[in-house]
C-alpha cells in the first residue's frame, strides 16, 4: 500500500492503462507539458509521447466529437474536460452521439470512452468552475456515471471506467484532489468490486446517509459528530450514479428505517430525488419517516465567498437526521 | 491593420466561379485544377458514374413515393444532388471511412447500402443503416455537422494506426455536410482540429443553397470554400452538378490526405430541387423561377448529352440502365413492404455494451406487463 493524493492516484491509473493498452489515448486542454490544470496527467506526455497524450485546441465539443471518431477507429479515448462548467459545450456530443452510438448501431459501434470531469465546489473557484452537472448525465441512457470519493477508488474505478466498453462520465471532486489515502498500486481489477456497486463506508443502525463524491467526507464527519449524541448513522457512498446500486441502499434502509440523501448539486430533479423515489418504491413499508434530501439550493452556483451557504455541511446533514428521527429540528413548526 | 469584408465578394449563390469538366450543356471542358485528376477517365467510367446517378435518382423517386403512400415516416430527397454524391463517393476506396449527413442517398448507394438498409431508418424500424464497419460508412447523421468531428477523430486515429505490413495507414476519413452545417460550431471546430493535427480528412460541403427555408446567404456572405483556407485547409469550389468535377476534386483531396499533406475541403455547389424532407413545402419560400433555372443544370442530363455525343450511350443502353434502376427500386419497395418489426422487448437491447442493473430491472418489469396481455388472450 502506498499513501497517495487522489490526483496522484488518478495519475497512476492513467499511467498504468497507457502502459498496458496501446488503444488508450488521452485528449484534453493543457494535459501535456503542463500536466493538466490539476496535474492529474503530470509526466504522461514525457512517458507516453504526443501521439498518445494529445493537447487539443480549446474546443470541448471538438474534443468530444474527435473522441467519438477515435472510438470508431478502435481506440479507447480518455477525455479530460478541464472543469465541470466546461462540459456544457460538449453536452451535445456526449448525450446525442456518445450515449447513443451503441444503441443506434445495434451494438456494431462501441464507445469505450471515459470523460473525466474535475467536479463540484468548495475550493473557492471562479464562476463556471464549481458546477455539479451529474444529473444531466444520469438522465441520459447509454452513459454510465460514477463519482469517486477517495484515492483508492480513484485508482481502481478510473481503470475500470477505461476498461468498460460503455462510455463513462467520471466525476472527480476537486475538493479531494489533494486528500490522501492508502492505494494498492498492484491491485488487480479482477479482484476489485465492480464500479457499479455502492459501498457502506460506516455502519450504523439509527439512520442511513446516502451520498457520493466529496460529500462522503462531510457525511462521515456528521456521523462522527452524531455518535457523541448517541446516534449510530450508516453512511453509503453510492460511487455509481448510473446505475444506482439499489440492492445495497435498500438493504440499509430496511435496517435503519430512516434515510437522509445528500449532495452538492441542486435538489430539483437531482440524483437525490431519484434515489429518494427509488427507496420509497422499494422500502415504503420499512420507512419510519419520509426520506429527506440535503442538497445545494436550486440556484446558480453562488460566488465563492458565499458557497458555504450552498454546500451541505455536517450541521445541515445532522438537522436532516433530526427530521427523519422526528426530533426537534430547524423545520419544527414550519409549514413548507 | 483591419480586414473589412470585401464588397467585391460574390453572393454565395453565385455559380459562375466554379471548377467544372462538363458544362451544363454536356460539353467536356478543361479546368486547371481538375484536369490532371481526370486524365484516365474513359467512357466506361463515365457511364458507370451516370448509371449510379440514375440509380440514385430512381431510388429517391421511390423513396418519396413510399413516404406519400404511408410506408415511410419521412424521406429526405436528394433530387438534383446526385452528381455531388456519386462523383465524390466513387473516388473513395473501401478502406476509407465516410461520415455522411442524412441526405447522402447516392453516397450510401455507392458505398454498398442494400435496398433494405436504405429504407429501414426512414421507416422507423432501425436507427442506422446497419453495421458501419461493413461498408466503411456511418449511418445518416441528423444532428447538423456533428459528424464532421467524428471524421476528424477517425482521421486522427488513422494517423495513429499502422497497416498490417507495418507501414503508415493511408486511409482517409470523409465528412459530408450541407451549407447549413457550415454555420455550426462543430464544423468550425472540426476544421480547427483537422488543420492543427494535419489529419487525413476530406470535408465535402454539398452546398444545395437551402437549409430548409434559409438561403445560403444567411449562412455565409461569401463562397463557403473560401472559409477553409483561413483554417489552413486548401479548398476547391466545384460545380456540384458535374459528376466528373466531383470525382476529380475528390481524387485531388484524397491524394493529399493519403500522402500525409493533411485535410482538404470541397464545396460542391449544387441545388436541392425537391423539398428539404417530405414534411417540407418549398413553395412557401422559394421562387419557382429559381427551380426552373436549376432544372437547366440537371446533373444527369449533361452526362447523358456528353455520353451520347461521344457515342458511348444510345437509347438501348439508356433503357437498360433505366430498367436496372427500376429493378433496384422494386427491390427497395419489396424490402419496405415486407419489413418485419422487431419484438417489443428488443428496445432494451444494446443501450449498453455491458449489463446495467437499472435497465435490466425495467426490462423485467415491462416484460411482466406485456406478459399480462398474453394471458388475457388465452
pLDDT tens for chain B, residues 1 to 378:
576 655 444 445 567 789 999 999 999 999 999 999 999 999 999 999 999 999 999 999 999 999 999 999 999 999 999 999 999 999 999 999 999 999 999 999 999 999 999 999 999 999 999 999 999 999 999 999 999 999 999 999 999 998 888 888 999 999 999 999 999 999 999 999 999 999 999 999 999 999 999 999 899 988 999 999 999 999 999 999 999 999 999 999 999 999 999 999 999 999 999 999 999 999 999 999 999 999 999 999 999 999 999 999 999 999 999 999 999 999 999 999 999 999 999 999 999 999 999 999 999 999 999 999 977 665
Compute the average pLDDT of residues A88-112.
Answer: 98
CB contact under 8 A, A66 and B149: yes
Compute the average pLDDT of residues A243-266.
Answer: 98
For residue B53, give how far its alpha carbon lies from the nearest alpha carbon of chain A (Å).
27
For residue A308, give how far its alpha carbon lies from the nearest alpha carbon of chain B (Å).
34
| B272 labelled catalytic | yes
Compute the average pLDDT of residues A133-154.
Answer: 98
Q: Would you say A102 and A109 are in contact if contact means Cβ atoms under 8 Å apart?
A: yes
CA distance A220 to A123: 19
Predicted local confidence at residue B8, as pLDDT: 46
Chain A residues with CB under 8 Å of B97 CB are: 72-73
Interface test with B, best of A69, A103, A144, A239 (most B CBs within 10 A): A69
CB contact under 8 A, B139 and A25: no
Cβ neighbors of B248 (< 8 A, separation 6 or more) are B21, B34, B35, B37, B38, B41, B91
C-alpha cell at B42: 474513359
E-strand spans in chain A?
A: 2-5, 24-28, 53-55, 76-80, 114-119, 144-147, 168-173, 180-183, 199-202, 207-211, 233-237, 240-242, 259-266, 292-296
Compute the average pLDDT of residues A288-292.
Answer: 98
Predicted local confidence at residue B17, as pLDDT: 86
Predicted local confidence at residue B9, as pLDDT: 45
Q: Would you say A13 and A151 are in contact if contact means Cβ atoms under 8 Å apart?
A: no
Chain A residues with CB under 8 Å of B359 CB are: 141, 243
Chain A residues with CB under 8 Å of B185 CB are: 59, 61, 89
Q: Would you say A294 and A322 are in contact if contact means Cβ atoms under 8 Å apart?
A: no
A65 closest CB neighbour out of B139, B155, B186? B186
Compute the average pLDDT of residues A164-174.
Answer: 98
Interface test with A, best of B187, B357, B359, B360 (most A CBs within 10 A): B357
Query: Phi/psi of residue A228, each to 5°?
Result: -65, -25
Nearest residue in chain B measured CA to CA from A51: B160
CB contact under 8 A, A142 and B351: yes
Chain B residues with CB under 8 Å of A64 CB are: 149
Q: Is B149 in CB contact (< 8 Å) with chain A?
A: yes
Chain B residues with CB under 8 Å of A138 CB are: none
Whether the pLDDT of residue A43 is over 60: the answer is yes
Predicted local confidence at residue B52, as pLDDT: 98
Cβ neighbors of A39 (< 8 A, separation 6 or more) are A7, A11
pTM of the model: 0.96
CA-to-CA separations, A13 to A6, A81, A153, A174, in angstroms, rounded: 10, 17, 10, 17
Nearest residue in chain A measured CA to CA from B187: A62
Query: Can you give the C-alpha Rg of chain B in angstroms?
Result: 22
A230 phi-psi bin (left φ>0, alpha ψ -120 to 50, beta other): left
CA distance A166 to B26: 52
Q: Is B214 in CB contact (< 8 Å) with chain A?
A: no
C-alpha cell at B132: 458501419
Reported as a single tens digit per residue, the pLDDT across A179-228 is 999 999 999 999 999 999 999 999 999 999 999 999 999 999 999 999 99
Q: Is B161 in CB contact (< 8 Å) with chain A?
A: yes
Predicted local confidence at residue B165, as pLDDT: 87
Angle between helix B299-309 and B82-90 (nearest 10): 60
B143 closest CB neighbour out of A92, A105, A144? A92
Q: Residue A152 CB: number of other CB atoms within 10 A? A: 19
Q: Is B131 in CB contact (< 8 Å) with chain A?
A: yes
| B352 labelled catalytic | no
- Encode A104-117: b = buried (16+ Cβ within 10 Å), e = exposed: bbbbbbbbbbbbbb
Question: Residue A312 forms beta bridges with which residues?
Answer: none
Interface test with B, best of A22, A50, A58, A62 (most B CBs within 10 A): A62
Q: Would you say B328 and B336 are in contact if contact means Cβ atoms under 8 Å apart?
A: no
Predicted local confidence at residue B6, as pLDDT: 54
Chain B residues with CB under 8 Å of A104 CB are: 127-128, 139
Amino acid at each position: 500500500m502506498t499513501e497517495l493524493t487522489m490526483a496522484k492516484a488518478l495519475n497512476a491509473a492513467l499511467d498504468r492503462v497507457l502502459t498496458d493498452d496501446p488503444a488508450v489515448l488521452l485528449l484534453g486542454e493543457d494535459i501535456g507539458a503542463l500536466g493538466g490544470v490539476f496535474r492529474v496527467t503530470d509526466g504522461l506526455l514525457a512517458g507516453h509521447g504526443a501521439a498518445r497524450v494529445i493537447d487539443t485546441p480549446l474546443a470541448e465539443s471538438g474534443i468530444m466529437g474527435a473522441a467519438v471518431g477515435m472510438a470508431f477507429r478502435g481506440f479507447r479515448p480518455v477525455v479530460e474536460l478541464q472543469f465541470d462548467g466546461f462540459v456544457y459545450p460538449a453536452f451535445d456530443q456526449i448525450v446525442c452521439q456518445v450515449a447513443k452510438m451503441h444503441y443506434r448501431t445495434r451494438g456494431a459501434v462501441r464507445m469505450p470512452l471515459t470523460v473525466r470531469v474535475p467536479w463540484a465546489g468548495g475550493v473557492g473557484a471562479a464562476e463556471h468552475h464549481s458546477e455539479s452537472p451529474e444529473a444531466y448525465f444520469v438522465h441520459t441512457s447509454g452513459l454510465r456515471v460514477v463519482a469517486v470519493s477517495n484515492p483508492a477508488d480513484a485508482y481502481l474505478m478510473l481503470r475500470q471506467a477505461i476498461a468498460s466498453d460503455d462510455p463513462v462520465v467520471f466525476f472527480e471532486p476537486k475538493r479531494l484532489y489533494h486528500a490522501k489515502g492508502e492505494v494498492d498500486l498492484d491491485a488487480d481489477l479482477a479482484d476489485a468490486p465492480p464500479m457499479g456497486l455502492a459501498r457502506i463506508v460506516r455502519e450504523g443502525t439509527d439512520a442511513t446517509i446516502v451520498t457520493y463524491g466529496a460529500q462522503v467526507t462531510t457525511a462521515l464527519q456528521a456521523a462522527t459528530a452524531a455518535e457523541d449524541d448517541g446516534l449510530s448513522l450508516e453512511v453509503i457512498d453510492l460511487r455509481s450514479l448510473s446505475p444506482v446500486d439499489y440492492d445495497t441502499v435498500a438493504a440499509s434502509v430496511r435496517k435503519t428505517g430512516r434515510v437522509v440523501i445528500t449532495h452538492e448539486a441542486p435538489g430539483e430533479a437531482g440524483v437525490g430525488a431519484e434515489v429518494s423515489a427509488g427507496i420509497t418504491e422499494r422500502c415504503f413499508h420499512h420507512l419510519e419517516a419520509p426520506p429527506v434530501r440535503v442538497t445545494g439550493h436550486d440556484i446558480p452556483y453562488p460566488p465563492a465567498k458565499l458557497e458555504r451557504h450552498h454546500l451541505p455541511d455536517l450541521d445541515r446533514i445532522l438537522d436532516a437526521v433530526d427530521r427523519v428521527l422526528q426530533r426537534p429540528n430547524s423545520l419544527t413548526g414550519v409549514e413548507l | 491593420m483591419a480586414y473589412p469584408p470585401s464588397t467585391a465578394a460574390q453572393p454565395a449563390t453565385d455559380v459562375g466561379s466554379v471548377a467544372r469538366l462538363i458544362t451544363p450543356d454536356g460539353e467536356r471542358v478543361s479546368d486547371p485544377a481538375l484536369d490532371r485528376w481526370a486524365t484516365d477517365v474513359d467512357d466506361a467510367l463515365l457511364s458507370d458514374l451516370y448509371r449510379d446517378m440514375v440509380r440514385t435518382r430512381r431510388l429517391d423517386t421511390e423513396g418519396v413515393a413510399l413516404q406519400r403512400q404511408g410506408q415511410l415516416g419521412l424521406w429526405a430527397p436528394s433530387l438534383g444532388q446526385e452528381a455531388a454524391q456519386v462523383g465524390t463517393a466513387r473516388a473513395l476506396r473501401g478502406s476509407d471511412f465516410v461520415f455522411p449527413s442524412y441526405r447522402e442517398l447516392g453516397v450510401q448507394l455507392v458505398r454498398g447500402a442494400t435496398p433494405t438498409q436504405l429504407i429501414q431508418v426512414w421507416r422507423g424500424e432501425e436507427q442506422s443503416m446497419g453495421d458501419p464497419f461493413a461498408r466503411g460508412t456511418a449511418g445518416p447523421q441528423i444532428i447538423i455537422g456533428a459528424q464532421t468531428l467524428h471524421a476528424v477523430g477517425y482521421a486522427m486515429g488513422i494517423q495513429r494506426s499502422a497497416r498490417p505490413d507495418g507501414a503508415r495507414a493511408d486511409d482517409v476519413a470523409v465528412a459530408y455536410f450541407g451549407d447549413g452545417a457550415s454555420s455550426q460550431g462543430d464544423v468550425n471546430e472540426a476544421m480547427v482540429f483537422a488543420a492543427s493535427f494535419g489529419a487525413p480528412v476530406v470535408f465535402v460541403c454539398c452546398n444545395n443553397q437551402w437549409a430548409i427555408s434559409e438561403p445560403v446567404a444567411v449562412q455565409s456572405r461569401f463562397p463557403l470554400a473560401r472559409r477553409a483556407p483561413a483554417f489552413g485547409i486548401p479548398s476547391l469550389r466545384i460545380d456540384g452538378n458535374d459528376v466528373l468535377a466531383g470525382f476529380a476534386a475528390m481524387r485531388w483531396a484524397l491524394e493529399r490526405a493519403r500522402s500525409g499533406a493533411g485535410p482538404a475541403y470541397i464545396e460542391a455547389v449544387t441545388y436541392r430541387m425537391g423539398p428539404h424532407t417530405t414534411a417540407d413545402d418549398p413553395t412557401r419560400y422559394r421562387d419557382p423561377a429559381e427551380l426552373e433555372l436549376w432544372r437547366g443544370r440537371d446533373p444527369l442530363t449533361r452526362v447523358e448529352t456528353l455520353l451520347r455525343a461521344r457515342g458511348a450511350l444510345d437509347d438501348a443502353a439508356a433503357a437498360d440502365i433505366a430498367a436496372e434502376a427500376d429493378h433496384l427500386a422494386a427491390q427497395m419497395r419489396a424490402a419496405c413492404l415486407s419489413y418485419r418489426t422487431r419484438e417489443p422487448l428488443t428496445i432494451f437491447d444494446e443501450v449498453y455494451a455491458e449489463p446495467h442493473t437499472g435497465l435490466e430491472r425495467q426490462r423485467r418489469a415491462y416484460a411482466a406487463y406485456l406478459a399480462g396481455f398474453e394471458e388475457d388472450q388465452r
